[in-house]
């Protein structure tokens, strides 16, 4: 429909087409809004089987996508229009058609089952005329696609086909040049729109002026097919490599899971062993503490009795000093949670007098170093990690004021051998 004629028919309060005198049916919901595209698609029904498609836009637009949903809505709400169906397509304000929209056109033609037998485009902008001509060229034999300048010409032509006239009767004869052009456009569309790379290309006789063009299409089709085969091989290669990498990752993951299970078992075993060792040590500590308490109590009783003895004062004091030393040894054993020999007791006494800044754990560590326990054994005995034990030894080295070249073990050995 041309600008003025179209506006008169669409906007004026009338229900009859001025060209066909057929009733025009339209509803407010016979439209589809295309988000972000800047236009609204609309359909109306002329008579009982002519669909009129147009857009509402205030500026030239690109058709973005096409679906059969709007057509199906009109068919359902208009009471199943009478077959066969006809379509008028107003191209006013349309200056381009997207590839996705072309796919939608092909879907309606070859897949939808709507059965349009005549489609007439009009108000076609020159920028997209070749696209419409290509669509017309590739249309199946069951559909006639025509191009007209305005609504009047489009409706007049459609009515002639609707009345049963043939293309010859209407004057739609096609000369050789037009036929070759249509075949050329159809071949291009089948390759670019439908990706029909295996479809045989029509070739005119080799002496025809049109032969080079169709031969070029054939070469293009072969090149595209070769490129697609290369692309498919690359995809298969990528897929194979991806599957191999995925399989390897799964194997690694399963191995890590199994390793994790083994680590858990090992951890539980170590945990059980540590609990058993702790329980044994607690029993030993209880025994030592009890023995120390009994010894200390007995020594205190002896001291009390010695004090009451009527003996020479020097001898009495000597006995009392030995008792006090024994009591001190017992108390040290209790603090260090270790039974001490006489030599161990004398060593700790020297160490404490010379380095009163050492705490009880450092005293115990010193004794065990002197007794030739290694770092791991000492750490396990006092319930800390090997790294923690190394930190303690580092601090002790500083507390003992040792030269960096002198070891704690050497120093303690020298201390133990000193004469009082």
How far apart CA 44 and CA 41 sit, in angstroms, is: 11
- Mean pLDDT, rounded, for 401-410: 88
Q: DSSP string spanning 273-324?
A: HHHHHHHHHHHHHHHHHHHHHHHHHHHHHHHHHHHT--S-HHHHHHHHHHHH
Q: Does residue 408 form part of some domain?
A: yes
Q: With respect to residue 417, please indicate whether it lies within any of the assigned structural domains.
A: yes
Distance of alpha carbon 98 from alpha carbon 103, whole angstroms: 9
CA dist 136 and 94 (Å) reads 17
pLDDT at 345 over 90: no
205 falls within a domain:
no
Task: Give the residue among 8, 18, 83 at the shortest CA–CA distance from 51.
Answer: 83
Has residue 119 been placed in a domain?
Answer: yes
Kindly indicate the confidence band of residue 13, based on its pLDDT and cuts at 50, 70 and 90: very low
Closest residue by Cα to residue 160 from 90, 233, 86, 83: 86
φ/ψ (deg, to 5) at 44: -140, 160
Question: Which of 166, 196, 226 is at the close of a domain?
Answer: 196
Give the lowest-confidence range in 102-116, 190-204, 321-335, 396-410. 321-335
1 pLDDT band, cuts 50/70/90, is very low
> Do residues 14 and 24 lie in contact, with contact meaning Cβ atoms separated by under 8 Å?
yes
Structural domain includes residue 326: no
Report which DSSP code applies to 17: -
Q: Percentage of the chain surpassing pLDDT 90?
A: 34
CATH number reported for the structural domain that contains residue 346 in this entry: 1.10.10
Separation between Cα atoms, residue 101 and residue 122, nearest integer Å = 18
Q: Rounded mean pLDDT of the chain? A: 84
| Gap between the Cα atoms of 182 and 138, Å rounded | 8
Percent of the chain with pLDDT over 70: 87
- Residue 137: which CATH number? 3.30.750.24
User: Does residue 130 lie in a domain region?
Assistant: yes
Domain residues for 371? 341-420
* Cis ω before 44 (30° cut-off from 0): no
Q: Which helix or strand (DSSP H or E) is residue 63 part of?
A: strand 61-63
**Residues 52-69, mean pLDDT to the nearest whole number:** 88
Q: Is residue 311 part of a domain?
A: no
Q: Which residue has the higher pLDDT, 11 or 268?
A: 268
> Each residue of 285-329: pLDDT tens digit?
666 666 666 666 777 788 777 777 778 878 878 887 777 666 665
Q: Is-contact 132 124, C-beta < 8 A?
A: yes
User: Pick the residue with more confidence: 389 or 338?
Assistant: 389
Nearest to 299 by CA among 330, 268, 277, 275: 330
pLDDT tier for residue 10 given thresholds of 50, 70 and 90: very low
pLDDT of 3: 40
Long-range contacts of 298-302 (CB under 8 A, 24+ apart): 299/323, 299/326, 299/327, 299/330, 300/327
Two tokens at 260? 């994790």
CB atoms within 10 A of CB 280: 10
Name the 3-class secondary structure at 346: helix
State pTM to two decimals: 0.55
In a domain, 68, yes or no: yes
Query: In the chain, how many domains are there?
Result: 2
Q: Among 175, 196, 217, identify where a domain stops.
A: 196
Contacts (Cβ under 8 Å, ≥6 apart) of 17: 9, 23, 24, 46, 47, 155
Per residue in 269-278, pLDDT tens? 988 888 887 7
Q: CB–CB of 122/5 below 8 Å?
A: no
- What is d(CA 118, CA 145) in angstroms, rounded to the nearest whole number? 6
Single out the residue in 137, 162, 196 at which a domain terminates. 196
């Amino acid at each position: 429909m041309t600008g003025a004629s179209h506006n008169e028919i669409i906007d004026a309060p009338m229900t009859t087409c001025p060209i066909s005198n057929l009733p025009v049916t339209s509803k407010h919901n016979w439209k589809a809004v295309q988000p972000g595209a800047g236009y609204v698609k609309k359909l109306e029904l002329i008579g009982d089987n002519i669909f009129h498609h147009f857009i509402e836009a205030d500026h030239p637009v690109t058709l973005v996508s096409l679906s059969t949903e709007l057509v199906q809505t009109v068919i359902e709400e208009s009471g199943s229009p009478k077959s066969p169906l006809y379509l008028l397509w107003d191209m006013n304000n349309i200056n381009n058609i997207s590839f996705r929209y072309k796919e939608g056109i092909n879907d309606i033609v070859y897949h939808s089952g709507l059965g349009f037998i005549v489609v007439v485009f009009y108000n076609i902008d020159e920028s997209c005329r070749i696209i419409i001509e290509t669509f017309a060229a590739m249309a199946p034999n069951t559909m006639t696609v025509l191009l007209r300048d305005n609504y009047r010409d489009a409706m007049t032509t459609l009515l002639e086909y609707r009345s049963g006239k043939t293309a010859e009767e209407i004057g739609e004869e096609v000369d050789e040049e037009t036929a070759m052009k249509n075949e050329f456009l159809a071949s291009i569309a089948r390759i670019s729109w439908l990706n029909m790379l295996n479809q045989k290309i029509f070739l005119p006789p080799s002496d025809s002026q049109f032969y080079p063009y169709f031969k070029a299409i054939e070469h293009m089709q072969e090149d595209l097919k070769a490129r697609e085969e290369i692309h498919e091989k690359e995809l298969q290669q990528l897929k194979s490599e991806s599957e191999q990498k995925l399989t390897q990752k799964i194997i690694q993951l399963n191995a890590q899971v199994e390793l994790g299970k083994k680590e858990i078992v090992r951890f539980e075993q170590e945990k059980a062993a540590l609990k058993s060792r702790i329980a044994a040590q607690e029993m030993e500590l209880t025994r030592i503490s009890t023995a120390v308490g009994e010894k200390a109590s007995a020594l205190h009783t002896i001291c009390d009795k010695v004090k009451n003895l009527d003996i020479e004062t020097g001898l009495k004091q000597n006995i009392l000093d030995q008792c006090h030393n024994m009591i001190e040894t017992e108390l040290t054993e209790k603090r260090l949670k270790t039974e001490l020999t006489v030599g161990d007791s004398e060593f700790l006494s020297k160490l404490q007098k010379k380095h009163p800044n050492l705490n009880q754990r450092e005293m115990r560590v010193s004794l065990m170093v002197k007794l030739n326990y290694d770092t791991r054994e000492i750490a396990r005995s006092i319930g800390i990690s090997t790294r923690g034990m190394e930190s303690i030894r580092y601090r002790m080295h500083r507390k003992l004021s040792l030269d960096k070249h002198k070891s704690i073990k050497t120093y303690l050995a020298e201390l133990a051998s000193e004469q009082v």
